[in-house]
Structure 1
Amino acid sequence: EAIREAEYRRKAALSAFFPQVETQYSYTRLDEKPTFTIPGLPPSEVGPKDNYNWLTTVTQPVFTGGALRNGYLLARLGVDVAKWEFERTKQDLVLKVKEAYWGVLVAERMVEVASRALESLREHYRVAQAFYKEGMIPKNDLLQVEVELAQREQDLVRARNGLETARSVFNTLLRRRLDAEVKLAETLRYEPFRGDLKACTERALQQRPELKAARLAIQMAEKEVKIAASGLFPQVSLLFNYERQGDEPSVSGSRYNPDEESWNVMAVVRWKVWDWGQTWWGVKESKARVFQAERNLQEAIDGVKLEVKEAYLNLREAEKNIRVAEKVLEQAEENFRINEERYKHQVATSTDVLDALTLLVRAQTNYWTALSEYNIARARLDRAMGERWR
């Protein structure tokens, strides 16, 4: 809608270059007929009581001191600014969709982690029950496993609720029904990022729609200066007037003036010679807005540089977290496997198995979270660089 509004404004500015046609129809009734008196003679009627008049005027601007031209250029720049603002909004939406997308994927992995943990614990519970029946472990050990089993069931419910919430957020961003089915073909994965900070910053300074809009804002402010300065010059226009008059609504003349129509062409020069500095101070005000627009651009550049650096460092941090999480996950898986085997041979306690399972679940959660955070950090870096889509 903003682009459409700006385009309408541009068309309105363009129309000011062309002749403007105005027409008016009026009726005037006098209290008495106008007369002309010569001393010594009776008064003579020179006009009717009822007077009808139809006037059509065509005005063509010839010279406006640059107001029309710069007004049109200003409106055209406004269209470009609206387009870049739309691009900015679109990139923000793309980022939100990407974040929601990875949120669904990591929520699916959390459900998978909770499900596997519950399955592993149920298997451990089956073994513990067999040992208890044989009198190999005390009742307390079996109760400990049952408590942990209930906790893992709650974790699975919580993970499934988190997945439903993530899917609802994703559907909301896509303007779908909240309960619409969500099937994502892609999985959480790691793709190395090869760029360096300098290259990312240079790309952002070239592509960010906010910076392009800020540069256009400077040009718009400069056009406003020229529009304000146009008031210092004379305004020249051509006028064509066509008039009909009469004593009847048909404006067909009268017996006093049978020639019902007339026309004339005028060249008009208007020049505001003195206005106590109003126009001059208006020019100064517009120049101040140019300076302000230049400052806004510099602030925007500094903000983009900071945003890119922050996003880049977050990406590298997330990348390192993946490597650490992978190593910890391998160790946690091996630790759980060893403790399970030791428990089956009764050289480890149930507590050892439960602790190993807790470490494994934590390691799996950290690994999938690290992958999700890396992909989200990559999406945020793309947004910071002004990438349209990746």
Structure 2
Amino acid sequence: ADLLKTEYSILDLEAQITGTKTNLEIAKKDLKLKLMIPNNEDITLKDFQVLENLTSGIDFGKDLDEALTNSLSAKLAVNKVDYAQAEKIVARSSLLPQVDAFATYGTSKESHNFENSFDNAEWKGGVSVKWDVFSFGSGIDEYNVAKNNESIESLNKELTSDSIKLSVTKNYRELIRLQQLKNSRSKALEAATENFNIDTERYNAGLISTVDFLLSESQYRQAAVDYNSAVLDYYVAFETYRSSLI
């Protein structure tokens, strides 16, 4: 019975190894496709180090203020409000009378005597007023439209600020959660490693069956996979948080 269980465990492990190799090959092909790397070039997987505490250098309040003022979304919203305000000013100016000042220097009558015309020359000036009083209807409509657009863009700016706050806060909380998860899985891996080392000595001494030993090894490797997955998610969450500040 123990031999049959061992054979089953080995076959199951081989199936898992085959599935993992297949997933790796598919992931490599997908990576080559995204990076436009020729299929005949090899990709070598290498370990990379992730800092234990990426949040230690984060000032959440400062980052949030920076995102609300200097992020691309915030600046775009402010520019839209400024443009809408300018359009409203232009529309309002079309309703007002146009006042122009003018000044001239010369004589009121034509003269063929240069000295006489020069001596009789005088300054004249005044103010001209132009007011299209018959187009108030269309002008007021244009002004109201521009005014409404300004209100809409101001509201959109507030919504954008709320969206930035939500996104930055959400990404920061997720980063904290994944940091705690990474730490807990690190402890789980440490415990599984110690347990596997003990079971290895017990198996060599003939105190446990092969199935129990393989089960202990499987638990150890699963703990390692869970930890590495948490580390990857933690690193991605950190980059996502930084991206939300841009």
Q: TM-score band (shorter)?
A: 0.7 to 0.9
Q: Does 1:143 align with 2:7?
A: yes
1:258-283 deviation per Cα after TM superposition (whole angstroms, max 9, x unaligned)? xxxxxxxxxxx975331251111211
- Please tell me the root mean square deviation across aligned C-alpha atoms, in Å: 2.7
Gaps of 5+ in 2: 101-128
Cα separation, partners in 2 of 1:166 and 1:301, compared to 1, 3 Å: same
SS of corresponding position for 2:206: coil
Say which one has the larger Rg: 1
In the superposition, relative to structure 1, how do residues 215 and 185 fare at CA in structure 2: closer, same or farther (>3 Å)? farther
Give 2:48's aligned residue. Answer: 187
Partners of 2:18 and 2:45 lie apart in 1 by: 26
What is the TM-score normalised by the length of structure 1? 0.50
Q: Count how many residue pairs are aligned between Structure 1 and Structure 2.
A: 214
1:206 aligns with 2:69: yes
Instruction: State the TM-score, normalized to the length of structure 2.
Output: 0.76
CA spacing shift, 1:187–1:199, aligned 2, 3 Å? same
CA change 1:334–1:290 in 2 (3 A) is same
Q: Which has the higher strand share?
A: 1
CA positional deviation for 1:307: 0.7
Q: Distance in 1 between matches of 2:139 and 2:191?
A: 78
1:190/1:371 contact within 8 Å kept? no
In structure 1, C-alpha distance between the alignment counterparts of 2:164 and 2:154, rounded to whole Å: 15
Q: 1: CA distance between counterparts of 2:133 and 2:47?
A: 72
Residue deviations 1:119-152 (CA, integer Å, cap 9, x gap): xxxxxxxxxxxxxxxxxx8531442243234223
Which residue does 1:283 correspond to in 2?
Answer: 143
Alpha-carbon distance in 2 for matches of 1:313, 1:295: 27
2:16 aligned with 1:152: yes
Q: Which has the higher helix share?
A: 2
Deviation of 1:160 (Å)? 1.5
- Give, in whole Å, the separation in 1 of the partners of 2:99 and 2:48: 68
Deviation readout 1:52-89 (Å, 9 max, x if unpaired): xxxxxxxxxxxxxxxxxxxxxxxxxxxxxxxxxxxxxx
1:44-193 mapped onto 2 (5 Å cutoff): 139-165=3-29, 167-168=31-32, 170-171=34-35, 176-177=36-37, 179=39, 181-182=42-43, 187-192=48-53, 193=55
Offset of residue 383 of structure 1: 1.3
Q: CA shift at 1:296, angstroms?
A: 0.6
Q: Write out the 4+ residue segments of structure 1 that deviate beyond 3 Å after TM superposition.
A: 177-186, 233-236, 269-272
Q: Deviations over 1:347-373 (max 9, x none)?
A: 111221221122112111111111111
State the alpha-carbon separation in 2 of the partners of residues 225 and 204 from structure 1: 28
Q: Distance in 2 between matches of 1:142 and 1:229?
A: 87
For 1:1-390, what aligned pairs fall within 5 Å after superposition? 139-165=3-29, 167-168=31-32, 170-171=34-35, 176-177=36-37, 179=39, 181-182=42-43, 187-192=48-53, 193-194=55-56, 195-232=58-95, 233-234=97-98, 272-275=132-135, 277-386=137-246
What is the rounded CA distance, in whole Å, between the counterparts of 2:137 and 2:42 in structure 1?
67
Query: Which 5+ residue runs of structure 1 have no aligned equivalent?
Result: 1-136, 237-268
Residues in 1 aligned to 2:33 and 2:229: alpha-carbon distance in whole angstroms: 18
